[in-house]
Amino acid sequence: MRRPGVTGPRPRVAGRTAGSAPPSAPGSSREAGTGARRAPRPQGVCRACRVAPAEHVDHRHGTGRVRGVLCFSRHAALGQFKDRPDAIRRAAAYVEGIAWKPTLVAPGVCRLPS
C-alpha cells in the first residue's frame, strides 16, 4: 500500500508493477483453461512488406480483432494513417505517381492536376 503524499512511479517487483497480480494468478489471462484468446506469436516476415521480420501484432482498434503480424515500420505507418483505407490509398497513388501526373497540353507545356 502506498503512503499518502508519495509521488513518482510505483516500484517494480520481478518484472511487474508492485501490487499487480502475478501472471499465473486466478482470473488472469494467462491462467490455464480460461479460454482467453491470445495474439499470434510474432514469427516469419511482415504481412505488408514481406521482407522485414514480423515483430508487432496488428489489431483493429474498434473491435480488438487481430489482423496479422507486421514489422515495426508498417505497424507504425498504419498507426499514422489512423487505420483509414482512403488515406492509405491516396498515399499509395502518390508514391506510384498517379496523383501528380501532369497533362501534356502542347510540346513543352504541361498542365498540373488541380
Do residues 75 and 84 lie in contact, with contact meaning Cβ atoms separated by under 8 Å?
no
The HSE-up count of residue 3 (CA atoms within 13 Å, CB side) is 2
Cell, residue 99? 496523383
User: What pLDDT, on the 0 to 100 scale, is given for residue 95?
Assistant: 85
If we measure between CA atoms, which residue out of 24, 17, 70 comes closest to residue 78? 70
User: What pLDDT, on the 0 to 100 scale, is given for residue 70?
Assistant: 95
Sign of the C-alpha dihedral computed for residues 38, 41, 45 and 46 taken in this order? positive
Do residues 80 and 66 lie in contact, with contact meaning Cβ atoms separated by under 8 Å?
no
User: What pLDDT, on the 0 to 100 scale, is given for residue 83?
Assistant: 86
User: What pLDDT, on the 0 to 100 scale, is given for residue 102?
Assistant: 77
User: What pLDDT, on the 0 to 100 scale, is given for residue 33?
Assistant: 46
What is the rounded radius of gyration, in angstroms, for the C-alpha atoms of the chain?
A: 24
User: What pLDDT, on the 0 to 100 scale, is given for residue 112?
Assistant: 77
If we measure between CA atoms, which residue out of 51, 47, 50, 85 comes closest to residue 68? 47
Spans of the chain, pLDDT less than 50: 13, 16, 24-35
What are the residue ranges spanned by the domains of the chain? 40-83, 84-114
